[in-house]
Amino acid sequence: MKKYFKWCRELIGGKFFHNQKSTWFAVIVSLSMIATVMLSLPLNAQTTTRPELRGVWLTNIDSNVLFERDRLKNALQRLDDLNFNTVYPVVWNWGYTLYPSQVAAKVIGRSLDPEPGLQGRDMLKEVVTEGHKKGLKVIPWFEFGFMAPADSLLAKNRPQWLTSRSDGSKIVKEGTHDRVWLNPFNPEVQKFIQDLIVEIVRNYDIDGIQFDDHFGLPSELGYDAYTVALYKKEHRGQAPSQDPKNPEWVRWRA
């Protein structure tokens, strides 16, 4: 920048131009260039720092914090005292919603997780109401994504939604638990998850939605009839590789 201004001074001072007309032309050109450079610079050199996020999950796994109204209220007070500013209450896991859901009632056959501590109340509404009173942001957490217990009502009532390995098996072991995966390529599955999200956004004054890594699927899955037919349609009748690690097959499912 210093060299540029030196060049401008020399230009205006007549080092390159020796008549009045040329000098005034040089002045106009130089001022235009200076204005262009100055306007391209930031008006405020100070960088704005984003507010620090101090969040915690509120879960029903190895915790009973969600199962009683006063316990939940006390937990939110404790988090506020500890200077947390965001909570992520779980709203979808183990094949059930943890809030009263008309979408779940229609698809699964139950509107709410059967846990006794959740009956007769709306846990999510309580978190939103009490959390916002304390200045906490509330971001519902879709923990299980497309994953569900193999013996869940969802898996039993919608078997056509499940994806499988090339040998037809569906169960994926997660520790001691048997899991199955809803087929993320199936439009009905996509609509189900979308409807749950829209239901929450419309009915609760939330501050966002958090997804989990279970919205992907294990690499050995994707060989169900629907997905294979979709692949063949896009590949002139060619079936997907029997090797689940095949780069092209992995890329297509990604």
The residue range of the domain holding 215 is 55-253
Residue 43 lies in a domain: no
Within a domain: 26:
yes
| Residue 249 placed within a domain | yes
47 found inside a domain? no
For the CA atoms of 225, 229, 235, 240, the dihedral, rounded to the nearest 10 degrees, stands at 0
103 and 148 in a single domain? The answer is yes
Residue 22 counted as domain residue: yes
Q: What's the pLDDT at 87? A: 99
pLDDT at residue 112 tops 60? yes
What tens digit of pLDDT does each residue of 195-220 get?
A: 999 999 999 999 999 999 899 899 99
Residues 125, 238: one domain?
Answer: yes
Same domain, 62 and 15: no
**137-138 and 141-142 strand pairing:** unpaired
On whether both 33 and 127 belong to a single domain, the answer is no
Q: Kindly report the average pLDDT of the chain as a whole number.
A: 88
| Residues 181 and 242 placed together within one structural domain of the fold | yes
Is the pTM for the entire model greater than 0.85? no
DSSP 122-179: -HHHHHHHHHHHTT-EE--EE-STTEEETTSHHHHH-GGGB---TTS---EEETTEEE
* Same domain? 93 vs 216: yes
Distance CA 122, CA 132 (A): 16
Does 49 reside within a domain?
no
- pLDDT per residue as tens digits for the range 132-165: 999 999 999 999 999 999 999 999 999 999 999 9
Same domain, 190 and 231: yes
Is the domain of 90 the same as that of 216? yes
Q: Quick one: 7 and 85 in the same domain?
A: no
Mean pLDDT lowest for which of 50-54, 114-118, 119-123?
A: 50-54
Question: What's the domain count of the chain?
Answer: 2
- Pair (169, 112) in one structural domain: yes
pLDDT tens string 16-28: 444 444 444 444 4
Residue 32 in any domain: the answer is: yes
CB 75 within 8 A of CB 131: no
**Residue 240 vs residue 7, higher pLDDT:** 240
User: Quick check: helix, strand or coil at residue 30?
Assistant: helix
Q: Does the structure show a pLDDT above 90 at 49?
A: no
- 46, part of any domain: no
Indicate whether 31 and 63 sit together in one domain.
no
